[in-house]
Amino acid sequence: MHRCPDPLTWQAVVDGEEGGAQLLEHLDRCAACKAIYGEIAEAAGIADGLFTGAALRPGFAAAVLARVKPFPAGLVAAALFALVAVSALLLDPHYWHWWLTVGMTRHCGRLLDALIEIVFLGRSLGPAWLIGAAALLVALELVLLHKLKTVEEC
């Protein structure tokens, strides 16, 4: 190594992030680099004084877990499912048949499976996304039913 490494390289050596044999050999031979290394090591030593061995009090984790409320996924899913069913029923009971034939039940079942897998099995997708997806499904269903009704009335 003929050229002197820059101070950031020496800093990486001080921090144990770099430490090739070539670098260390150069450090042994070069007085200028030794001086830079010494300055960095001194500054790092001063900053090491910031370290504290303080630890959290026992019971911290329990206190946090007590404040964590699990998302009531089952309840929300059941409510949304009921909403889909009631909305279909209110528009026209006749559309139950259509609802079943276009496979909406299967899609709702898949959504519920996903809800259970994600929330209960701990994959925790944001609850807002789940509610959003289910609400979108309800809206889609209402629009479709409304369109069908309009077409039939014509």
Partner 1 sequence: MAVRELLQKMMEEYGDKIYRLALRYTGDVFQAEDIAQETFLRAYSRLHTYDRSRPAGPWLFRIAVNLCRNWSRRAGAREMPMEIKDEPEVEPGPEHRYLQRERERELLQALHKLPEIYRDVLILKHVAELNYNEICAALGWELSLVKNRLYRGRMMLREALRKGEIADA
Q: Does residue 117 interact with partner 1 by CB under 8 A? A: no
68 CB neighbour count, 10 Å cutoff:
6
Q: Does residue 31 interact with partner 1 by CB under 8 A? A: no
Q: Does residue 49 interact with partner 1 by CB under 8 A? A: yes
Shorter beta-carbon distance to partner 1: residue 40 or 134: 40
84, two tokens? 């889909």
User: In which residue are the tokens 């959290």 written?
Assistant: 56
Report whether 43 contacts 53 (CB < 8 A). Answer: no
Q: Does residue 58 interact with partner 1 by CB under 8 A? A: no
The identity of residue 146, as a single letter, is H
Contact residue for partner 1 among 13, 23, 33, 40 (CB under 8 A): 40
Shorter beta-carbon distance to partner 1: residue 55 or 154: 55
**How far is Cα 120 from Cα 112, in angstroms, rounded to an integer?**
11
Contact residue for partner 1 among 64, 89, 139, 140 (CB under 8 A): 64
